[in-house]
Chains A and B, each alone.
Chain A
Amino acid sequence: DSGVTQTPKHLITATGQRVTLRCSPRSGDLSVYWYQQSLDQGLQFLIQYYNGEERAKGNILERFSAQQFPDLHSELNLSSLELGDSALYFCASSKQAGGYEKLFFGSGTQLSVL
């Protein structure tokens, strides 16, 4: 158990809808990362928050947004969903924000857009 909690584990929705994925980092970790893993793809970095502030942005679509709350949990909002958004979404956390941290991953949210 990595200590990172993601909910829900599975999500099935229709095109055009909006969903929210939730992540609770490990106790004491200030940094949260969101990754997307599509079929046969590596983990694509979406966005990173550190202590409530956006720290780094990757290939995140404009239809997607995220935030980190004062209690350090994070939410990833996906809107106007398309079939191609179907993927496994991982959240990871680390103590600090640097590029030399070990990331601890949650077990992911499997999103299916029908």
Chain B
Amino acid sequence: DQQVKQNSPSLSVQEGRISILNCDYTNSMFDYFLWYKKYPAEGPTFLISISSIKDKNEDGRFTVFLNKSAKHLSLHIVPSQPGDSAVYFCAASSEDTGNQFYFGTGTSLTVIP
């Protein structure tokens, strides 16, 4: 049962343009969401998070938007840089789900110079 879904396995964007990565979830109890970035041969690294009391969180070039009614979140990267090329995972959790983090299947982003 995939409670967190990333329906786009891959995305290609030109350098300098905006990258938008999407994530949908099914469990309305989730109230904390995170994005992780993974380079080959490395473990995922934390990128940005958002709690359900907010609908937007920004950190430099990275902004996460949360639409609770649609059970959807997105990660915007502006401007995209070649070093952003990686696999991006979204994850969700809540105290009510037993402290488990549920991860999506990932979106591979390629930023073309």
Contacts and interface: CB of A to CB of B under 8 A. Distances in A.
Interface of A: 2, 4, 6, 33, 35, 40-45, 48, 55-56, 58, 90, 92, 97-100, 102-108
Contacts of A45: 100-103
Interface of B: 2, 4, 6, 9, 32, 34, 36, 41-46, 49, 51, 89, 91, 93-95, 97-106
Given A90-B44, A108-B43, A100 B100 contact: no
Given A41-B105, A42-B4, A43-B103, A99 B43 contact: no
B46 A98 contact: no
Contacts of B36: 103, 105
Contacts, number: 70
Contact of B97 (A41, A99, A105): A99
A43 B44 contact: yes
B101 A99 contact: yes
28 contacts: A4-B43, A6-B43, A33-B101, A42-B106, A45-B102, A48-B99, A48-B100, A56-B99, A58-B100, A90-B43, A97-B99, A98-B95, A98-B99, A99-B93, A99-B95, A99-B97, A99-B99, A99-B101, A100-B32, A100-B93, A100-B95, A103-B36, A103-B46, A104-B46, A105-B44, A105-B45, A107-B41, A107-B43
Nearest to B90: A42
Nearest to B42: A107
Given A43-B89, A103-B101, 14 more contacts: A35-B103, A40-B105, A42-B2, A42-B4, A45-B102, A48-B99, A58-B100, A90-B44, A98-B99, A99-B97, A100-B93, A102-B46, A105-B44, A105-B45
B93 to A, nearest CB: 4
Contacts of B97: 99
Contacts of B98: 56, 99
